[in-house]
A and B are shown apart, each in its own frame.
Chain A
Amino acid sequence: MIRPFLIIVLAGMLLASGAAYAVDPTEMPTPELQKRYHGLTHELRCMQCQNEAIADSPVSLAADLRREVKEMLIAGKSDDDVRNFMVARYGDFILFRPRVAARTLWLWSAPGVLLLIGAAVAVRITRQRAALVEQDNDPVDEDVRSS
């Protein structure tokens, strides 16, 4: 069962066809700047190929935006400065991570709120059912001990 899968994998190995993506060999003067550059270019959306980060997009707009990031970092700007620069020109859409602000509060708090609601539901149901266990004398099909 595993073997055919592996064969397919191996067969597909040599010919992995993909769209032309950008390779970005930009070198920053220090490793710390390199890390920040890498982080920021992966966090910013390419506005032309809108599903790519500017790190990966091959179009010249992405290259220009990468250049802006590089120059700003070398000039000593902070990560937030870079983000603000981009947002001022292109809007929030350019960020892959939605900003935590009043208008995105619902989005960021939703998972936590849902978990709280879920926990409350779980507590209520388990309590309810635990109370019913004593008078529930229906036999359970245990011989196969399965679901």
Chain B
Amino acid sequence: MLPELGHFALILAMLLAALQAFFGIAGPALGRDRWTAAVTPAVAGQFVMVATAVACLIASFVANDFSVTYIAENSNSALPLFYRVAAMWGAHEGSLLLWIFLLGCWTVAVAIGVSKLPARFAARVLGVLGVVSFGFLLFTLATSNPFLRLDPPAPDGRDLNPILQDFALAIHPPILYTGYVGFAVAFAFACAAMLEGRMDQMWARWTRPWTTSAWAFLSVGIALGSWWAYYELGWGGYWFWDPVENASFMPWLVGTALIHSLAVTDKRGLFKSWTLLLAVLAFSLSLLGTFLVRSGVLVSVHSFAADPTRGIFILAFLIVMIGGALTLYAWRAPLLKSQAGFDLGARESFLLFNNILLVIGAATVFGGTMAPLIADALGLGTLSVGTPYFNPTFMLSMLPLLALLSLGVHAKWKRGQLSAARRILLTTLVIAAIAGVIIVFGVYSHGKVLSPVAATLGVWIILSSLVDPVDRLRRKLSLPRSVIGMSVAHIGLGLFVLSVTTVESFTLERDVALGQGERTSVGNYEFRFEGVKSIEGPNYNGVEGKVTVTRHGVPTSVVYPQKRQYWVQRQVTTEAAIEMHHGSNVFVALGDELGAGKWSVRFQIRPLVNFLWLGAFIMAVGGAIAATDRRYRVAREAVTTVPVATPGVAGGASHATPGQFREECPGPTLSGRMPAQEEAG
């Protein structure tokens, strides 16, 4: 019953989304105020229907209803309750429903927020969001229905992929999607402005808090994914430049450019067409990411089950949405001109460089991610692009940006007046350089050429970001949330940069074969392997090793790395033991039994790695603080057009899959399908 109810609710939701889109766009365009007013009820109705569908699906998971195909493929009666709920978004169909639900949440929030804005503009924003909702609902119902029944029902489910049975990964998709989907709001604002033919500074002010909050969520989502990968996957790797990782990183880069560009448009009415384009681009990259992950065009450890039919559908959707928005842009943007000026050393300049460098960074990642596809389309053979490409090329645009940041925070609007800040600049730079050198050569004693440079840049950013707030506090000036937020976010970035530098330069790793009682040392730590014993858990069994850790001869801890085999999926996972010690992570993982009581064991010392995610988290917090600045609460009367020279414008077992092996490939497929299952399914 519940699945049918959910299915029906989805159909209703799709119809309501169509109405929302129609009324929102046709109403204002044709001057029909009744239609314009009908948008908000449509939004509410659509949300209620989507929420109902989600509730039905989750309830069916909790109730172990294995007559639903999706549940039979992704759950199991032995699965703990928490994961039964999280399994809802564990594979393609359910995660798509999550996408739609979160879009609904954002739409409702926007509907409430824009109620104080001019009715026609508000309706257009909601209308554009309605188009997106409609597209996704249509796609879901046509190709990816999570409520399809299995006949006869399965006696029990295939279980959630054991790798996904982890807290961080359970919450990673909702948070990530909240950010990902949230850029639709900026997109909708941009389209509404272009449809309206008008774009002024107020527009930027309205758009900013939505964009910054989406960005904050995306930051946390990406950081969670990276943290999870560190624990779950990569033997201490935290970023692989995997196509799906890149798919979330590109919108983040463009989103960062967007929030800065919005600042300039808000403040001085400049960069309007830039901001418009970035707003369209950010969400376009989100959509593109959705396409890449679900269409099977790219090889990725994250890919959902590949399906060319889905690929065609999403591509059509992309063409409509992105092509439509870019056509609007080509039509309206030429009319957005401003006569404002600024000096070379002004804040606007730095934000311009910021825009350019971030876009180049995003384009670099884009090129590398799409390279296999481009090479294939041009007949240039198979191309493979990985970390050895992305690292140097990405750094090429990022290093200058990091340096310019520490200069730019001191620059004033319009006039810059950087010479006034010369002393502070020099002081902070010198302190940063000393700190950088100490960290690299004093604390860690070696490093690559770039290490002191990057460490200096990281520290410099932190110091530079503190200057303005400290100065204001000292001189008893106002310290609005936007300034606090900005400073906190930049400090988070600096911390992140510092952490990446130390991790990349100073990680120590060793793989050793050890018998019981044997020792090895890595860095300042000594490890003694005490042997293994058998263990059993709620839905798995395995072995647990015991390793004693000492530092400079002083015992610090005992760790218990495990290897588990889950009963249902028969997949072996490794539970590494990670300890934080003196700011570093000590990472111990069991490898294979080598016979005669010996095991291969991996040891890693990763300095300051936790600050990586802490830094990202702090960045998000900074964004959240900035987004709640008082200036963004707009009263209806305050809405006017600024009189500047802006005219009336603004993926089954095909014959081609590789064969089966008795071993499994590690790595998650959020569809919960491992290669072996692909064959059997």
Contact = CB atoms under 8 A, between A and B. Distances in A.
B231 A18 contact: yes
Contacts of B167: 8, 12
A7 interface: no
Interface string B359-401: 1100110011001000100001111111111000100110000
A51 B301 contact: yes
B92 interface: no
Contacts of B197: none
Interface in B546-596: 560, 563-564, 571-580, 589-592, 594
Interface in B295-352: 299-301, 339-344, 347-349, 351-352
Interface string A30-47: 000000000000010100
Interface in A81-140: 91-98, 103-104, 107-108, 110-112, 114-115, 118, 121-122, 125-126, 129-136, 138, 140
Interface string A50-81: 11100011111100000000000000000000
A99 to B, nearest CB: 9
A34 to B, nearest CB: 11
A9 B610 contact: yes
Given A20-B563, A57-B665, A111 B576 contact: no
Contacts of B592: 22-23, 58
A140 B576 contact: no
Contact of A147 (B263, B386, B590): B263
B85 interface: no
Interface string B650-665: 0000000010010111
Nearest to A10: B580
Contacts of A5: 614, 617
**Size class of the A contact interface (CB-based, 8 Å):** 35 or more
Nearest to A123: B344
Contacts, number: 248
29 contacts: A5-B614, A12-B167, A16-B575, A17-B231, A17-B573, A18-B232, A18-B235, A19-B667, A20-B563, A20-B574, A21-B235, A21-B574, A23-B591, A23-B601, A25-B594, A51-B242, A56-B235, A56-B666, A92-B382, A97-B386, A110-B364, A118-B359, A125-B352, A133-B342, A134-B341, A135-B339, A135-B341, A136-B341, A144-B483
Interface of B: 162-163, 165-168, 231-235, 240, 242, 260, 263, 267-268, 270, 299-301, 339-344, 347-349, 351-353, 356-357, 359-360, 363-364, 367-368, 371, 375, 380-389, 393, 396-397, 412-415, 468, 477-478, 480, 482-483, 486, 511-513, 560, 563-564, 571-580, 589-592, 594, 600-602, 610, 614, 617, 621, 644, 658, 661, 663-668
The 5 A-B residue pairs whose C-beta atoms are closest, nearest first, are: A23-B591, A132-B341, A19-B666, A96-B386, A97-B388
Interface of A: 1-2, 5, 8-10, 12-26, 43, 45, 48-52, 56-61, 91-98, 103-104, 107-108, 110-112, 114-115, 118, 121-122, 125-126, 129-136, 138, 140-147
